[in-house]
């Protein structure tokens, strides 16, 4: 269940804090038609990683020139789509991609505007599985690879700037200026190959609170740090245009997942298990990253939630945890609705049909009204609905 007003408020906050940047929403966090339509209406750009995301965006009115096409492996069809539809920017992740783009562009008589994704090896504090900077990470190019991509970018491929994305849940805004300086050094070396105004895309990664003890980092703090980074970059390489790609920071706190408790059974050290009608299939983050959430009983929210529980899913995995350290009323039991807040990002978008459970619907609520924006999917693979 998604609070549409919250998404709007977050987009407002980014518009106020980053008035001069190109604001792109990272579709991977959560993309449904209603959200793509809002992105189009506000004139935001959209960061897409697959033909599926791109097609949904185009269908909902996001112009092709507002698409930033990402991916460490773009299929030939995806390269073609980006070139033929005229994506605003294609982010090159490895040097051979420049050749692929050039071939497609020549074949279809098009021009392509690209950013080079650099992997800058700076210290980034976040969960290792969502850190995308450093030599053990398979995204982007180190300086020597990026240099050969610069040399390859000729003919119909136009170098417009550089891209970096350091990772997700970056609670320290100061990592942005540090990384921006590193990529500016790269541009400085190859200055003649770049245009007068260089696109400097700093990616997403702005952090959100998942549990009450998590810090809240204001959007303005990121804006101030990125502005400092831009200032330093401009001293080195001349005018830059900043692009940002927040995902989680727009939608994470807008969504809650509503489960039904099906089973209560004794657990270790007196902490009972509660099994709910979902789990790793609607939110794999606890299993993937040990992500923490909180839980609340929907109809007893004002009662003391002071008894420890372990909320688990219904799938055939011991790692299928929903809320590893939940606090609920002591008598919480089967039949009750359990709500997990802060599930708006990387839940629905990572959902699967594991064990052929149905994929839950998505419901937007706004001004006291609800609308189903995605129907429950309980089709049978190979057999259909
Ligand atoms: C290139 C790029 N941009 C933006 C994002 C969005 O990150 P976040 O949701 O943390 O803002 C990601 C996330 O993986 C990404 O890979």
- The predicted-structure confidence for 217-226, as pLDDT tens digits, reads as follows 999 999 999 9
Helices 51-59 and 33-42, axial angle in degrees (round to 10):
60
> Mean pLDDT throughout 74-88?
97
Residue % of the chain over a pLDDT of 70: 100
Q: Which atom of ligand 1 lies at the shortest distance from residue 169's CA? A: 10
Best probe residue, ligand 1, of 27, 28, 90, 127 (max atoms within 8 Å of C-beta): 28
> Mean pLDDT throughout 256-279?
97
> Mean pLDDT throughout 361-369?
96
Q: Which atom of ligand 1 lies at the shortest distance from residue 346's CA? A: 9
Backbone CA torsion sign across 332, 335, 341, 346: positive
CB-ligand 1 contact for 344 (6 Å cutoff):
no
Q: Which atom of ligand 1 lies at the shortest distance from residue 117's CA? A: 1
Bridge partners, residue 380, by sequence: 384
> Mean pLDDT throughout 61-87?
97
CB-ligand 1 contact for 46 (6 Å cutoff):
no
CB-ligand 1 contact for 278 (6 Å cutoff):
no
| Side-chain half-sphere exposure of 244, counting CA atoms within 13 A | 25
CB-ligand 1 contact for 204 (6 Å cutoff):
yes
CA–CA gap between residue 329 and residue 335 (Å, rounded): 14
Q: What token pair was written down for 371?
A: 């609308």
CB-ligand 1 contact for 47 (6 Å cutoff):
yes
Global pTM value: 0.96
Q: Which of 136, 144, 316, 367 is catalytic?
A: 316
CB-ligand 1 contact for 165 (6 Å cutoff):
yes
- Contact in structure between 340 and 257 (CB atoms under 8 Å): yes
Q: Which atom of ligand 1 lies at the shortest distance from residue 207's CA? A: 10
> Mean pLDDT throughout 225-229?
98
On average, the pLDDT of the chain sits at 96
- The CA 29 to ligand 1 mean position distance, Å, reads 8
pLDDT at site 14: 98
316 among known catalytic residues: yes
Q: 151-201: per-residue pLDDT in tens?
A: 999 999 999 999 999 888 999 999 999 999 999 999 999 999 999 999 999
């Amino acid at each position: 269940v998604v609070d549409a007003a919250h998404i709007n408020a977050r987009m407002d906050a980014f518009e106020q804090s980053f008035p001069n940047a190109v604001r792109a929403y990272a579709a991977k966090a959560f993309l449904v038609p209603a959200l793509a339509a809002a992105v189009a209406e506000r004139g935001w750009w959209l960061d897409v990683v697959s033909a599926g995301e791109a097609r949904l965006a185009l269908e909902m009115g996001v112009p092709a020139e507002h698409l930033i096409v990402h991916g460490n492996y773009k299929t030939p069809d995806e390269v073609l789509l980006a070139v033929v539809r005229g994506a605003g920017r294609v982010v090159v992740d490895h040097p051979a991609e420049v050749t692929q783009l050039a071939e497609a562009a020549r074949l279809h008589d098009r021009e392509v505007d690209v950013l080079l994704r650099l992997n800058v090896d700076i210290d980034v504090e976040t969960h290792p599985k969502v850190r995308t900077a450093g030599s053990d990470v398979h995204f982007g190019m180190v300086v020597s690879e990026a240099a050969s991509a610069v040399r390859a970018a000729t003919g119909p491929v136009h170098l417009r700037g550089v891209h970096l994305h350091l990772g997700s849940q970056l609670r320290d805004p100061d990592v942005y200026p540090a990384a921006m300086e590193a990529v500016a050094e790269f541009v400085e070396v190859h200055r003649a190959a770049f245009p007068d105004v260089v696109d400097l895309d700093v990616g997403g990664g702005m952090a959100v609170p998942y549990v009450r003890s998590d810090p809240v980092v204001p959007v303005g703090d990121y804006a101030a740090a990125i502005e400092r980074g831009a200032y330093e970059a401009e001293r080195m390489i001349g005018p830059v245009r900043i692009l940002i790609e927040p995902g989680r920071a727009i939608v994470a706190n807008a969504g809650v997942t509503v489960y039904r408790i099906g089973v209560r059974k004794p657990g270790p050290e007196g902490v009972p298990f509660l099994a709910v009608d979902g789990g790793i299939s609607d939110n794999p983050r606890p299993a993937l990253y040990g992500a923490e959430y909180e839980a609340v009983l929907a109809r007893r929210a004002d009662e003391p939630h002071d008894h420890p529980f372990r909320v688990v899913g219904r799938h055939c995995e011991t790692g299928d945890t929903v809320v590893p350290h939940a606090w609920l009323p002591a008598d919480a039991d089967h039949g009750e609705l359990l709500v997990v807040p802060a599930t708006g990002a990387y839940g629905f978008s990572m959902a699967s049909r594991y064990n052929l459970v149905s994929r839950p619907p998505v419901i937007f609520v706004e001004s006291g009204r609800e609308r189903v924006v995605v129907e429950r999917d309980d089709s049978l693979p190979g057999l259909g609905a």
